[in-house]
Structure formats: C-alpha cells, structure tokens
Structure 1
Amino acid sequence: MSDLFASAGLEKEAPRPLADRLRPAKLSDVVGQDHLLGVGAPLRRMLDGGRLSSLILWGPPGVGKTTIARLLAVDAKLEFEQISAIFSGVADLRKVFERAKARRAAGKGTLLFVDEIHRFNKAQQDGFLPHVEAGVITLVGATTENPSFELNAALLSRAQVYTLKRLDDDAIEKLLKRAEAEEGRDLPLTDEAREVLRNMADGDGRFSLNLAEEVFAEPVGRTPIEPKELASIIQRRAPIYDKGQESHYNLASALQKSIRGSDVDAALYWAARMLVGGEDPRFILRRLVVIASEDIGNADPQALPLAIAAKDSFEFLGQPEGEIAIGQLVAYLGSAPKSNRSHIAFKQAKAVARETGSLAPPPHAMNAPTKLMKSLGYSEGYVYDHNTEDGFAGLNYFPPDMSREKFYEPTQFGFDKEIAKRLEYWERKRRDKD
C-alpha cells in the first residue's frame, strides 16, 4: 500500500484513513467472502490451478471488490491497472491497452480493474472484447448493479460473474477488532452501543471502519458511549448518503413525497442532498418524469413536457450547468396542482382488462380492409364523427359483451377541473344520442 501513497505524492507517515490502513494484504485477510475465497471456493480454486479468467465482481459498496481485485493480481503475478468508468473515457482506455500490450510483449500480464463498469456505454464495453480475447488483459469489473441488466451480453459471455455478499455481523465484528488492534485500544462503547454500530454499518465494511474512526476520535479515557450518544456522534460526523445503500431509496422517496405534498423547499433540499451525495442525476430525472405523470398528471399537463425538457437539457449541457434544469423542474413540480386520477384510472382499466380476457371490440370499432372482413361485419355501423353535425356520433366503444365502465374521474384542481367539464360534456352528449 505504501507504493500507492508514494505514487500519490504522500509519505508513508502521511495521515491515512483507518479503512485504508486496514486494507487486507492477502486474500485470506478478506472477511465475509468465504464462499468465493475460502478453501475449495471458486476464486481460490482458480488461483490454485494457476489461472485467472476475466470476471465481474457484483456486490454492494464496502464489501471488498477493489481489494479482492488488487490481491488477485498479486496472487496471479499480474500487473495491476485500475480505472473508474465514472472518470475514464476512450483516451484513457487506449493508453491502458497500449501499456498492457507492451507488457505482454515483455512476457508480463495485466489485470485491468474497472470500477463501476456498468457506467460504460455499450460501445465502450464492446471495446474490451478484442483485448480480452487476445489475452492482452485479464478484465476484472466491479459493479453494484445487476450485470444482467447493465452489461452487454457479449461481455458477460466472456467473463464469469461472482456475487459478493453484504458483510454479516461476525464479519463486521472482525473488522472492529482489527481496528482496535491497529489503534492499540478498545472502542469506548457499551456492548449495546457496539451492536448498534454494527447494525448501522448495514453490511458495509468500509463504512463500519469509518464509524469506528469517528468513535476513536472521542477523548481517550472517556466513559463508554451508550447507544443514544452513539447515534448523536454518528449523525454529527458520519457520511449522510451512499447512493448504493438504503438511503438511495429513502431520499428518492423523500423527494417524491415532498413534491406530492407541495413542499417545494423540502423537495429542493432532498434533490440537493442526492446530488451532493453523488447520485447519478439521470436517476433523479427519471424519478421526476415519473412524478410528473403519477402525481401531477392532468392537473398540469405542462409538467410532463417540462420534465422531458429538463432531462434533455441535462443530457445536452452535462454537469454542472445541467443541474440548473433539475432545480427548475423540482420547483415547478412541487408548486404545481396535483392529481393522480389518470394514474389510478389506468391501473383500474388494467385490472378490468385482466378480468375480461380477450373480448373483441364492437364491429364498428374494427377496420375492414378486405372483402372477407367486411362480409364478417367488420366496421358495420361505424359513423365517422367528423361527418356528424356536432362532431360526435356517440357510439359505444366497449366490447358488446361488457357494460360500460367509468375509470377516469378528474379532481377539481388545476387543469383537471377543465378536463372534468369536458368529460361531463361528452357524457351528456352520449346520453342525448342514446
């Protein structure tokens, strides 16, 4: 690890986070992943057999993906190269491949570790294939997302997927004991507070060590910390958002409910929390597009076009300028009148559609492009609405064997009120025609 700090311009004595100081030096030190690294486990068998194929490490944050990749390179005697799909582009990849080719010519192999590999687009993922097939690199990709949905089939066919587990209580406790050995003292926690800390880590080893480091920052010799005080310490100091953990969904929920509750300032706050925490702005925009239809609906028909425009603006501008459109959209949606009636109506229509099965449309609702279809009664009785005096023929378009249903009942808020007037007009006209 000292080489890493030297390459970064840091001395060995430079302050280093506890999680970095405790990074495993060999695979047997990795906790919580015995199903992959234990005796007889897949990765261990592969290394014992003197080979290492390309692979994808899939798992939540803080379970050792980067560490395992680095140690695999050590055991397989391969040069370790690391890039992040978030910060690297085509030029960076080209340089990596050139260095790998030069090493191969000198008889040395390369393990290329790609963090967040799912962030690369299809063309970039395809770019790895010829180098993997030619043996120029052994690819190890890390992802927190389901590879089945995020990675190309061609890439998946050339790399085995290994799933890393969230660290259980015993694994987190092992890390805490290592932290205490490193610091030369016990964590000043009661047994109950220690259990709370393990639970707060939520299976994330790196996060558990960050929490431990915050506790070690308390004055030496103080009385053991109780659970209530621990919560106060952690809330004051610990990271508040991790896009790969539960808070990812909690904050997204808080954003949507704030908009639904017309609390504009709270909605802006939660959107900002997500962005500041490193959330992918596209995830936020997708959620806002959903909100525009689900929660605003036809109470303000401009909400959905504005949401799509904000998405397009971000794609065109990128960061940070593209975030301006996100703020504008959140403020608009939060202040807009709300209606979920179209959303409810469509859900009800789908439920009835499942119940009624394959009922045919009425004859007048079907086209008759052939003589046979016309002889079977297709299109019979159809009246072209535009040819009627008032532009409304009043025909029933439900299946003949099904009674009419009423799904859509707009609210009296915003433009929904105008739509309600229109529906009342058409219903009155239909009754008159009948």
Structure 2
Amino acid sequence: MADLFDTPSREDTAPRPLADRLRPRHLDEVIGQEQVLGPEAPLRVMLEAGSLGSLILWGPPGVGKTTIARLLADETDLAFVQISAIFTGVPELRKVFEAAKLRRRNGKGTLLFVDEIHRFNKAQQDGFLPHMEDGTILLVGATTENPSFELNAALLSRSQVLVLNRLNPVALELMLQRAEKELGKALPLTGEAREALIEMADGDGRAALNLVEQVAAWKTEKSLTVDELSTRLMKRAAKYDKSGDEHYNLISALHKSVRGSDPDAALYWFARMLEGGEDPRFLARRITRMAVEDIGLADLQAQTICLHAWETYERLGSPEGELALSQAVAYLALAPKSNAGYAAYKAARKAAKKTGSEPPPKHILNAPTKLMEEQGYGDGYQYDHDAEDGFSGQNYFPESMKRGVYYLPVERGFERELKRRVDYFAKLRAKRDS
C-alpha cells in the first residue's frame, strides 16, 4: 500500500513543467550553492561523515531548498515526506508523525521536509521536538524569513541553519544552457536579450525556467531583441515584503549607504524600496532619523531639509513628492557625518539612570520661600553674565557626582566650530578651578 504522505513517483504520464524536468538528480548537479555543497562545505562534510542532522534551509524562493532536501533523502536512504506549513494543521501533523513511527519500526527512517516552516506557530513548532529527539524524523525546514526571528529557540538549538543564496547571473546562465539542452534548441534571443531574461528572473531559478519555457514556445524565425522580449514578457516582481526581512535589509542598506557618504548607493536602495511598494512616509521618517543620528550638529541644515522634504511629499503626494525625498537622501549622503550628539545623549541617559536620585547642587536651585533660603537654596550662585568672559565655570552636576563628559564633537562640518567652543570653555573652567 502506498504511503499516504509519500510524493508521487517521477514516472508520470502527464506533461511536466521544464523546472520539474530539470530538477537535479544528484547533489553535484545543484547550481549556485557551493557554500553549502562544496567539498569542504557543511552538507558535504555531514554526508561524508554519515552524520546528517536536522537542518533549516534559509533562502529566497527558487534557489533549490526543496531539491536539496529531496536529494538529501536519496543520499541517506530516508523516505522523503514533504508538507507545507500553509496547508498543514495539527491533525495532519499527527498523521505524519504516526506514519514516520510505523516506517521506523519497519527499519526505514524519514526525512520530513517542511516548506514555509516559519508559518507554524510556537506550539506547532514545539510539536516537532520529541520526534526529532527520538529519531522518528530528520527535520529539514525551509524558510524565506530570518530563522532568528521566526523559529523557536528550542527548534533552532536542535538544527543547523544553512543559508542559500539567490542565484547570480553565472548560475542562471548555466541553468539556461541546461534548459536548451533539454529542449533540444537554443532560445531565440540576442545576447542582450538573453542577459535581460536573466535579469528578469531576479535570482530565482524557478522563475528563470518558467520564463525560458514561455520563450521556447514562441514561434519566431529570428532572434528577439531586448525591446521585443520586454514587450512579450513581464519582469518578475522584485522580492520585497514590507513587514519581513527584505524591509529591514533594504532600510539597513539605505541607512548605511547614507552613513558611508555614498549618494549613488543610497539613491539605489531608496529606489528599491519605492519599487517594492514601501510607504514613502516611512522613508521620510527614517531619512529624518538618519539626519538626527548620523549627522546631528555637523550640518545644521540636514534635519531641516529632511523635514521640508517630508512636508513637500505630504503636499504633493506621489510621484512628485518622492523626488523631494530623494534629494534629501542625496544631501544626507554628502553631508559631514557625526554621531557625537547621539553618543552624548546615550551616555547622558546611562549616567542619569545610574544617578537618578541625586539632587542638583543647591547653588543653582531657586529659593522662592524663606525656608528654602535658610536651607541654602541659591546660595553662592554666580550670574554668568556678570562673570569674566560671560562664563562662571560653576559646577552644575550633583555635588556627589563626578563631572561627566558626554559631548565630544568631531572635526567635521559645523561641529568643528562647536569643538572649538567646547575646548574654549574647558580651558576657562580649568582656569576658574585653579
């Protein structure tokens, strides 16, 4: 009797998509994942040592997660069982585990491949643990989301996370060559159009083969140009999830490009987020934050320009308002950088948290009542405007606290002038103290 959860046989009379026909039969045929399958890479080492453990395969769509899992089952002589977290509930999971137990009693192990494993909730993820620990299943989970955020610590501690990369143009070109060999003909494309097809796939092997299948079906006597290809095909939508990893990865790339004073890279990541459907208001807020955090007082116009760009977007809307935001991005990238204000703020907060009950020194306290005067409030206060150089040099920290030094301006932009002032007052203070 066939196992309820075993996948169908490869011997199928129905027409098979090109992606299925080209699915690798051996690990050596997998394209573009040498970092996990190379001679000294983790999977190869595990297999050669005969010690394959549970795995989490983390990577974008179309890079071979399912294929690798299936081939691992073949390499280890385990029954391959595939489920998707999207369509599988607790009753179905129980059946999977019971079938694996029966298989084990008959001397056959089970490699359970769970697609989109991050979609299982905490309780469902915990349900895998006892079956992993007693050897009923060898779990291979696939996820497009960061396992650190989406998977339980207990599950992660029992698995090794392997990162699969999006396929680069070289890997996709090799995939196209295999497809042409399988089809028995070359694609009717010029060299530039072939490069455009690879670009349309955007690192997704499955998408690339689907595009190849469409192009191969066209009846044409000549090689198509880039324009003709673009007319017939739609570019694959860019991978972007406004609440997932790509959201945080791209805003990080934008922020670090601004911090690194690279306007071209900053504008590229800004454009990538807009193309992915990001809310321009989110970008306006983050751009303003960059001005505060990474430029601060080194350029007094930076925050103002960001706020004006934000206001311009609110008044004009898309797409004109986004131009104002892009100009703010370019300005920030080229502005002098300083995080001295940000660092000073954090240092002051840390000190305040540590000494939060210390009162101000009495000489800077007002004394509106007789009792407060008798307690010494305001006694000895020196009015700075009456002092030499308009600076008394008095202590304004709590009396029991050592004077803190938090703000350390840099020698860049307007902070160069602020540093000169800080140093000037420090010398005056030392002179008054002496």
Give yes or no for TM over 0.5: yes
Partner deviation per Cα, 1:147-196 (whole Å, 9 max, x = no partner): 22222221111111111122222211111011111111100011111112
Partner letter of residue 25 of structure 2? A
Q: 1:42 to 1:255 in 2, by over 3 A?
A: closer
Q: Which has the larger radius of gyration?
A: 2
Q: Does the aligned pair in 1 maintain the 2:7–2:82 contact within 8 Å?
A: no
Give the match for residue 277 of structure 2: 254
1:243 Cα deviation from its structure 2 partner = 5.2
Give the match for residue 386 of structure 1: none
TM-score (norm 1): 0.57
Q: Does the aligned pair in 2 maintain the 1:172–1:208 contact within 8 Å?
A: yes
Q: Please give the alpha-carbon distance, in whole angstroms, between the structure 2 residues aligned to 1:154 and 1:246.
A: 25
Q: Please give the alpha-carbon distance, in whole angstroms, between the structure 2 residues aligned to 1:200 and 1:382.
A: 74
Q: 1:375 to 1:191 in 2, by over 3 A?
A: closer
Q: Please give the alpha-carbon distance, in whole angstroms, between the structure 1 residues aligned to 2:7 and 2:63.
A: 25
TM-score (norm 2): 0.57
Partner letter of residue 27 of structure 2? L
Partner deviation per Cα, 1:305-354 (whole Å, 9 max, x = no partner): xxxxxxxxxxxxxxxxxxxxxxxxxxxxxxxxxxxxxxxxxxxxx99665
Q: Does the aligned pair in 2 maintain the 1:79–1:108 contact within 8 Å?
A: yes
Q: Please give the alpha-carbon distance, in whole angstroms, between the structure 2 residues aligned to 1:250 and 1:140.
A: 32
Classify the secondary structure of the residue corresponding to 2:94.
Answer: helix
Give the match for residue 417 of structure 1: none
Partner letter of residue 183 of structure 1? L
Does 1:231 find its partner at 2:230?
Answer: yes
Q: Please give the alpha-carbon distance, in whole angstroms, between the structure 2 residues aligned to 1:130 and 1:56.
A: 17
1:116 Cα deviation from its structure 2 partner = 1.1
Q: Please give the alpha-carbon distance, in whole angstroms, between the structure 1 residues aligned to 2:71 and 2:35.
A: 17
Q: Does the aligned pair in 2 maintain the 1:51–1:76 contact within 8 Å?
A: no
* Matched ranges for 1:416-431 at <5 A: none
Q: 1:143 to 1:382 in 2, by over 3 A?
A: farther
Q: Please give the alpha-carbon distance, in whole angstroms, between the structure 1 residues aligned to 2:200 and 2:108.
A: 43
Classify the secondary structure of the residue corresponding to 2:277.
Answer: helix
Structure 1 unpaired stretches of 5+: 262-294, 300-349, 368-372, 384-399, 402-434
1:120 Cα deviation from its structure 2 partner = 1.5
Q: Please give the alpha-carbon distance, in whole angstroms, between the structure 2 residues aligned to 1:207 and 1:142.
A: 18
1:64 Cα deviation from its structure 2 partner = 0.3
Same amino acid, percent of matched pairs: 55
Classify the secondary structure of the residue corresponding to 2:142.
Answer: strand
Q: Please give the alpha-carbon distance, in whole angstroms, between the structure 2 residues aligned to 1:14 and 1:27.
A: 26
Partner deviation per Cα, 1:352-383 (whole Å, 9 max, x = no partner): 6654552899xxxx98xxxxx78987xx8799
Q: Please give the alpha-carbon distance, in whole angstroms, between the structure 1 residues aligned to 2:77 and 2:143.
A: 24
Larger displacement relative to structure 2 (100-109 or 36-45) = 36-45
Q: Please give the alpha-carbon distance, in whole angstroms, between the structure 2 residues aligned to 1:112 and 1:9.
A: 17
Q: Please give the alpha-carbon distance, in whole angstroms, between the structure 2 residues aligned to 1:239 and 1:202.
A: 7
* Matched ranges for 1:304-319 at <5 A: none
1:206 Cα deviation from its structure 2 partner = 0.9
Give the match for residue 63 of structure 1: 63
Partner letter of residue 64 of structure 2? G
Does 1:179 find its partner at 2:179?
Answer: yes
Q: Please give the alpha-carbon distance, in whole angstroms, between the structure 2 residues aligned to 1:213 and 1:60.
A: 21
Q: Does the aligned pair in 2 maintain the 1:100–1:137 contact within 8 Å?
A: yes
1:35 Cα deviation from its structure 2 partner = 2.4
1:9 Cα deviation from its structure 2 partner = 11
Aligned length: 295
Q: Does the aligned pair in 1 maintain the 2:60–2:166 contact within 8 Å?
A: yes
Structure 2 unpaired stretches of 5+: 251-271, 285-309, 315-338, 369-395, 398-434
Q: Please give the alpha-carbon distance, in whole angstroms, between the structure 1 residues aligned to 2:163 and 2:51.
A: 20
Q: Please give the alpha-carbon distance, in whole angstroms, between the structure 2 residues aligned to 1:255 and 1:30.
A: 34
* Matched ranges for 1:27-426 at <5 A: 27-219=27-219, 221-235=220-234, 240=237, 242=239, 250=273, 254=277, 256-257=279-280, 354-356=343-345, 357-358=347-348
Partner deviation per Cα, 1:196-220 (whole Å, 9 max, x = no partner): 212222221111111111211211x
